[in-house]
Amino acid sequence: MNVAGRHYRTIWLNEDGAAVDIIDQRWLPHAFRVATLRTVEDVAVAIREMWVRGAPLIGVTAAYGVAIGMREDPSDTALDAVWETLHETRPTAINLRWALDEMRGLLRPLPPGERAAAAYGRAGEIADQDVELNRGIGRHGMEIIRSIAARKKPGEPVNILTHCNAGWLATVDYGTATAPIYMAADEGIPLHVYVDETRPRNQGAYLTAWEMAGHGVPHTLIVDNAGGHLMQRGAVDMVIVGTDRTTARGDVCNKIGTYLKALAAHDNGVPFYVALPSPTIDWSVSDGLAEIPIEERSPDEVTLVWGLSENGEVERVRISPEASPAANPAFDVTPARLVTGLITERGIASASPEGLRRLFPERSSA
Ligand code: MRU
């Protein structure tokens, strides 16, 4: 997508052909900074501390991390060590394990001397593939927006609510939940997006709002608690969110608070869609509540908040008593029964084993 008139992806190979450059998301929306990752440890820190985040981008960054690791040491032992180091950075997003498995599966049979070049090549392909998958999601998801628009008065916007950031910043480009929004906006379909602020890390307020403004999409930032009220008033036509891991039966794990939005949508008859590329499906698990590890992050993310001070500095301030403990589960699971449809690159599936397998028949034996 464009930033100040220049096209950016969120991650690209540095001009030295070895390091990897990323948009450092810690500073958005107040400052646009690029960081260079030169070592496996740099990559691990960037994923763990959320310089990059969003399930698809975490996967792509890890793939480049393996390539960097193979340049340092292409041995079997190093390959396994890089897999372990990067795998433990963020436990919930399945795209991380998917990308690491892809890389190790490709590299293991190769002679060590060929591994680094092959790893950079495959990481680049995974990045390009992510963009294509998101385009596919966009095309299918846009048809839903178009059909809602067709039932409205001419010029009346389709009101979409989204949670967290499943935008281009969470992927290599386009985003998952935002791809249909950008395509519909580009086609001239009138729309308006309610952006959940998404405490505690505020990915909605910091990142999705910045994306919407950058693309010229009419939007309104709301506190997380406002969604149910807006749905009761008929102000929301549909919800679209992303996911960090969706199970083979269609349970959806996503940013904490997604479940509450799904409950409110269900109670108010608002369609609740989840946009996801196929690497986000974990075919090995069925019951999301029982089987998906939920990342617990630092309580500091709850008690301390980043913002722009009056003197123009990006600062962190405390919002609660120092003596009060805080808990920070980063994701929750929305049961399949609350999901209207799963928007994938191959089309829209019902959130059920049959729905997913109809679109991905090659997984029928998984
Ligand atoms: O903790 P984050 O910011 O990595 O969480 C991101 C989300 O929950 C997204 O909705 C999900 O990863 C899908 S991104 C296309």
Question: Hey, which of 47, 94, 164, 306 would you mutate to test ligand 1's pocket, going by the most ligand atoms within 8 Å of its Cβ?
Answer: 164
pLDDT band at 364 (very low <50, low <70, confident <90, very high): confident
Mean pLDDT, rounded, for 230-253: 98
Give me the percent of the chain exceeding a pLDDT of 90: 99
User: How many angstroms does the Cα of residue 359 sit away from the middle of ligand 1?
Assistant: 23
- The DSSP code for 309 is -
The CA distance from 344 to 69, in Å, is 32
User: How many angstroms does the Cα of residue 77 sit away from the middle of ligand 1?
Assistant: 31
Residues with CB under 6 A from ligand 1: 53-56, 93, 164, 166, 170-171, 176, 203, 242-244, 254-255, 330
Q: Where do the domains of the chain lie, and which CATH numbers do they carry? A: 2-129 (1.20.120.420), 144-363 (3.40.50.10470)
Contacts of 182 (CB under 8 A, 6+ apart): 1, 138, 174, 175, 215, 217
Give this prediction's pTM: 0.97
Tokens representing 296 are 């617990």
Give the HSE-up count for residue 101: Cα atoms under 13 Å, Cβ half-sphere.
7
Strands in the chain per DSSP E: 2-3, 6-7, 11-13, 20-23, 34-37, 158-162, 191-196, 219-222, 238-241, 245-247, 252-255, 272-275, 281-282, 304-308, 314-318, 331-334, 341-344, 347-349
Q: Is the pLDDT of residue 366 over 60?
A: no
Q: Is the pLDDT of residue 189 over 70?
A: yes
Mean pLDDT, rounded, for 65-75: 98
Q: Is the pLDDT of residue 96 over 70?
A: yes
The CA distance from 182 to 212, in Å, is 9
Distance of CA 70 to the CA centre of its chain: 27
Dump pLDDT digits (tens) for 107-119.
Answer: 999 999 999 999 9
User: How many angstroms does the Cα of residue 241 sit away from the middle of ligand 1?
Assistant: 9
Mean pLDDT, rounded, for 1-8: 93
pLDDT band at 365 (very low <50, low <70, confident <90, very high): low
Q: Is the pLDDT of residue 257 over 60?
A: yes
* Per-residue confidence (pLDDT) for residue 145, from 0 to 100: 98
Give the HSE-up count for residue 124: Cα atoms under 13 Å, Cβ half-sphere.
11
User: How many angstroms does the Cα of residue 255 sit away from the middle of ligand 1?
Assistant: 6
Question: Hey, which of 96, 162, 203 would you mutate to test ligand 1's pocket, going by the most ligand atoms within 8 Å of its Cβ?
Answer: 203
Cβ–Cβ under 8 Å, residues 223 and 146: no
User: How many angstroms does the Cα of residue 258 sit away from the middle of ligand 1?
Assistant: 11
Atom of ligand 1 nearest to the CA of 55: 12
Mean pLDDT, rounded, for 182-206: 98
Nearest CA to ligand 1 atom 5: 54
Bin 216: left if φ > 0, else alpha if -120 < ψ < 50, else beta.
Answer: left
Question: Hey, which of 24, 130, 243 would you mutate to test ligand 1's pocket, going by the most ligand atoms within 8 Å of its Cβ?
Answer: 243
Atom of ligand 1 nearest to the CA of 58: 4
The CA distance from 53 to 40, in Å, is 17
Mean pLDDT, rounded, for 227-251: 98
The CA distance from 112 to 267, in Å, is 56
Atom of ligand 1 nearest to the CA of 53: 4
Q: Looking up tokens 């929750």, which residue turns up? A: 332
Q: Kindly provide the b/e burial profile for residues 333-344, where b requires at least 16 CB atoms within 10 angstroms of the residue's own CB.
A: bbbbebbbbbbb
Cβ–Cβ under 8 Å, residues 254 and 163: yes
Catalytic residues: 244
Q: Is the pLDDT of residue 199 over 60?
A: yes
Give me the percent of the chain exceeding a pLDDT of 70: 99
